[in-house]
Structure 1
Amino acid sequence: MNARPRSKTAATWLALLGGAFGLHRFLRHGLRDPWGWLHLLAMLAGLGGLLRLRVFGLDDASAAWMLPLGGLSVAAAALSAIVTGLTPDERWDVRHNAGRAGGTPPSGWGAVLGVIAALLVGATVLMSSLAFGLQRWFELQSGPEVSDQSTSVPR
């Protein structure tokens, strides 16, 4: 097998930009990878939740669990990009370029910038998904609000 070596920088950016749809998993492990399909299903559920949120508003109970699934898929892809970008070049070469012509192309600043972007995107999306999901869960647990009662404020 004398193919071109796989770039760690390209793999980092692929995990960041297309990882929510499982592209990084499908590229490395093929179409039979269950984690890649799980990424894809979670992201499609998240996009469906986003559409339901736009159509039905914040009161839609289905969007409350669908939207955080997409966010978790994005956060998991960002974590994969961070792990890929921080893998030492020697370990990357042994794991992904065994039997390929040449060595690993030097990762340089491209992988470092990918890790920084993944950390920024992943942390933001993870915290937003958790905040939205937990807020909706607590609202659904509290039951219907009684707005007919007026509260008096002591003066």
Structure 2
Amino acid sequence: MKNKTLAAWLAFLGGPLGLHRFYLYGLRDSVGWLLPIPTALGVYGIERVQQWGLDDHLSWMLIPLLGFTIAGCALRAILYGLMTPERWNERFNPGAEPDAPPGRTGWPTIFAIGLALMIGTAVLMASLAFSFQRYFEYQIEEARKISQ
């Protein structure tokens, strides 16, 4: 029996590592094994910023990968948490009753939804702001080079 609350928390806290996918679909899930790749690339982008500064072009292309992965996993946590018990049990617990306890929504599920909404939105907006700012600063630098 797959628990909806546990799946929502795993998607929120361990989603960038694919933990929720492994919990729901098993270790043979290819998406679960692919999720750590953009996470690792984003972490590498952060390390490049610490080493080379904000002017490193590769880092400002890699950092949003981490943010978008975290935001996407937060969205998945919200979707898991908002699923009706009937749909949850039909999809992840096919042999169970439609209103079986693993598919019910309780306060821990609601807290997972709320935190995923707040933190996922903040990370998404920060990633967008960072990437757009770096892109436009790069465009201004290139325009200055052309005008000189």
Deviations 1:23-71 (A, max 9, x none): 1122222344343233211110111011111111111111101100000
Give the deviation of 1:14 after TM superposition: 0.5
Pairs aligned (count): 142
Identify the residue that residue 112 of structure 1 maps to in structure 2: 110
Aligned-residue offset at 1:86? 0.2
Aligned counterpart in structure 2 of residue 93 of structure 1, from 77, 84, 89: 89
Residues 99-142 of structure 1: CA distance to partner in whole angstroms, max 9, x if unpaired?
35993333311111100000001000000000001111111122
Ranges of 4+ aligned residues in structure 1 off by more than 6 Å: none
Q: Matched residue of 1:114: which SS? A: helix
* Stretches of structure 2 lacking an aligned partner (at least 5 in a row): none
Partner letter of residue 103 of structure 1? A
Shift of 1:89: 1.0
C-alpha RMSD of matched pairs (Å): 2.0
Deviations 1:60-88, CA, capped at 9 Å, x for gaps: 11110110000000000000000000001
> Which segments of 5 or more consecutive residues in structure 1 lack a partner in the other structure?
147-155
2:89–2:96 contact (8 Å) kept in structure 1: no
Q: How does 1:38-77 map to 2 (within 5 A)?
A: 38-77=34-73
Provide the rounded CA distance (Å) in 1 between the counterparts of 2:3 and 2:28: 22
Amino acid at match of 1:112: I
Q: Tell me which residue corresponds to 1:103.
A: 100
Return the match for 2:11 from 8, 12, 15: 15
Deviation for aligned residue 1:144:
5.3
% identity of equivalent residues = 44
Scaled by the length of structure 1, the TM-score of the pair is 0.83
Greater per-residue helix proportion: 2
- 2:4–2:80 Cα contact (<8 Å) kept: yes
Q: Which amino acid aligns with 1:88?
A: T
TM-score (norm 2): 0.87
SS in 2 for 1:98: coil
Conservation of the 8 A alpha-carbon contact between 2:2 and 2:24: no
